[in-house]
Structure 1
Amino acid sequence: MADIFNEIDEELRRDKAQIWWKQYGKYVLAVCVVLVLGAGAYTWYQDQQKSEMRALADQYSAAQQTARTGSDADALKAFEDLASKAGEKGIGLVARFQAAGLHIEAGDHAAAATAFEAIASDSAVEQLYRDLADVMAIMHSGIAGGSSNELLARIEPLAADGEPWRYTARMVGASLALTSGDMALAQDYLTKVADDDGAPTSARGQAAEILQAIKS
C-alpha cells in the first residue's frame, strides 16, 4: 500500500513540475541564455582587450625603434598613427607626448607647443596630464617667441601652491619673467622653488644658481 501512495505522490510532483515548467520554463531558459552569452561576451571582451593592448604595445615598440634608427618624419608619423589608433588609452596619450617631444628634438618649438596645446584642450584626457601639457605648451610657446606677458598670465594658476606641476611651472614662469624684464617676478618664482624642501633637488639647485647669477 505504501508503494502505491509513493507512486501517486511521485506522479503529483511530476505533474506539478510539468505545469511549473510550462509556465516558467521559457523564462528560466532565457535567463540561462543571457548568463551564458554574458559570460561569453565578457570573456571575449577580455581576450579582445588583451589582444588590442598587445598590438598597441607592439606598435609603440616599433615607433620607438623608428625614433632611434629612422628619420624624424617617420618616427613622428609612427607616434601620431599610434595615438590616433589608441585614442585616449594610456599608450595613446604617451604617444601624443612622444610626438610633441620629437618636435622639440627637431627644434620646432612652435609645432611642439601646438601639439601640447592639443592635449591640454582635450577634455577626454585626465586633468593631471592636461595641466602638464599646458605647462609644456606655455614653455615652448615662450621659446618660439610668444608674448611673455600673455604666457605669464597663463602660467600663474599652474604655479600656485598645491598644483601638481607647480615647480616646473614656476621655473617656466621665471624664464618668461626674465625674458620680459620683470626681475622681481623672476626672483619670486625662483625663490619659491629654491626655498621649498618639497621641490625636486635638481630644480632647487637650478633655481638657486639662477638666483645667484641674477643677484651678482
Structure 2
Amino acid sequence: MALTPQSNEAFLREVDDELRRDQALDFWRRYGRWLIAAIILALGAFAGLLFWQNQQGKAAERQGEQLQAAFDDLGAGKPDASAKTLAELAQSKSDGYRAVARFTQADIALRKNDLKGAAQQFAAVAGDQSMAKPFRDLALIRQTNAEFDTLKPDVVVSRLRGLAIAGNPYFGSAGELVAIAYLKQGRRDLAGQLFGQIAASEQVPPSIRQRAVQMAGVLNTDKTGTDNGATGGNEKAKQ
C-alpha cells in the first residue's frame, strides 16, 4: 500500500527525530563526563575569581588603613611607630602602596638630612621594573636631586636627559637639574636654551618656571631658548 504524501512526510520526520535522539545519546555517552567536568571547573574558576577579588579588596582596604595610621603617627611626632608600618607597606604587592611607602620613607630621611638614605629609597623605586613608569621616573629625579652634589654632571645629564624634554610630565624638575649640570660642564649655551624652554612652558610648576626665567635672564636667553647675545651679534653683522 503506497503512503500518501502526508504519511510519507510524517514518517521521514519520525525517522529524523529518532536519528537526532541517537546522535544526542551517542554524544552524551562520549563527552558527557567531560562537559560536566568543564562546567564544574568553570564554576570553580569563577568562584575563585570572586574570592580573589574579595581578598584583594580587603587587602587594599587594610593597607589603606595602615598607611593612614602611619601618616597619623608621623603627624603626632611618632616616627618610630610609623617606621614599622611603612617598612611593611614597602613590601606590598600593590604598586601604589609600595611606592607611597618608599617615597614617605625617603622624605623622612630627607627631614633628618640623611641624603644617602633618601637616595637609597628613591633608587629602590626607580629600579623596580614591576613599578609603573611614572613612579620610576619621579623616583629617578628625586634620587638624582638627593645625590646631586656628589654626582658628576655627565651622570646627571645621562640619567635625566630623556625626561628633560618639553611635554614630559616631569620636564620642569628634570630639565632644571640637567640645565644646572650643563652649567657645571661649562655649556652655558645648552643651559640657557633649556632654562628658556622651561620658562616658556605653561605646564611647568610656577616655582620652577620662575627660577628658570631668572636663570634665562642671567644667561641672556629669552623664553624661546634663544641666546640674545648671539642674536644681537647676528643682527649687527647683517647691518
TM-score after normalising by structure 1: 0.78
Deviation by residue 1:102-146 (Cα, 9 ceiling, x = unmatched)? 212222122211211121112111222212211111111014x33
Cα distance in 2, alignment partners of residues 192 and 89 from structure 1: 33
Given residue 109 of structure 2, which amino acid in structure 1 is its aligned partner?
H
Determine whether 1:159 maps to 2:164: yes
Q: Residue in 2 aligned with 1:128?
A: 134
**1:20–1:155 Cα change, 3 Å:** closer
Cα distance in 2, alignment partners of residues 89 and 149 from structure 1: 31
Deviates more, 1:71-80 or 1:33-42: 71-80
Cα distance in 2, alignment partners of residues 154 and 43 from structure 1: 43
Given residue 55 of structure 2, which amino acid in structure 1 is its aligned partner?
Q
8 Å CA contact 1:88–1:124 kept in 2: the answer is no
Cα distance in 1, alignment partners of residues 148 and 191 from structure 2: 15
Given residue 130 of structure 1, which amino acid in structure 2 is its aligned partner?
R
Aligned-partner SS, 1:158: coil
**Percent identity for Structure 1 against Structure 2:** 23
Instruction: Compute the displacement of 1:201 (Å).
Output: 3.2
Deviation by residue 1:73-123 (Cα, 9 ceiling, x = unmatched)? 443332121111x13432222212222222122221222112111211121
8 Å CA contact 1:142–1:176 kept in 2: the answer is no
Q: Residue in 2 aligned with 1:37?
A: 44
Cα distance in 1, alignment partners of residues 80 and 177 from structure 2: 28
8 Å CA contact 1:83–1:93 kept in 2: the answer is yes
Determine whether 1:83 maps to 2:87: no
8 Å CA contact 2:164–2:171 kept in 1: the answer is yes
Q: Residue in 2 aligned with 1:3?
A: none
Determine whether 1:188 maps to 2:163: no
Given residue 94 of structure 1, which amino acid in structure 2 is its aligned partner?
V
Instruction: Compute the displacement of 1:50 (Å).
Output: 1.0
Paired positions, count? 204
| 5+ residue gaps, structure 2 | 1-17, 221-239
Instruction: Compute the displacement of 1:177 (Å).
Output: 4.4
Q: Which runs of 4+ in 1 moved over 6 A?
A: none
Q: Which has the higher helix share?
A: 1
- Listed as ranges, the matches of 1:23-102 within 5 Å are 23-84=30-91, 86-102=92-108
Pick from 101, 104, 112: which aligns with 1:106? 112
Instruction: Compute the displacement of 1:21 (Å).
Output: 4.7
Pick from 124, 132, 142: which aligns with 2:148? 142
Q: Residue in 2 aligned with 1:6?
A: none
Cα distance in 1, alignment partners of residues 203 and 78 from structure 2: 40
TM-score after normalising by structure 2: 0.71
8 Å CA contact 2:63–2:97 kept in 1: the answer is yes
Pick from 164, 174, 179: which aligns with 2:179? 174
8 Å CA contact 1:112–1:140 kept in 2: the answer is yes
Cα distance in 2, alignment partners of residues 72 and 182 from structure 1: 43
Cα distance in 1, alignment partners of residues 172 and 53 from structure 2: 40
Cα distance in 1, alignment partners of residues 181 and 31 from structure 2: 75
Deviates more, 1:193-202 or 1:57-66: 193-202
| 5+ residue gaps, structure 1 | 1-11
**1:197–1:111 Cα change, 3 Å:** same
CA RMSD of aligned residues (A): 3.1
8 Å CA contact 1:120–1:130 kept in 2: the answer is yes
From the CA coordinates, give the structure whose radius of gyration is larger: 2
8 Å CA contact 1:113–1:140 kept in 2: the answer is yes
8 Å CA contact 2:166–2:201 kept in 1: the answer is no
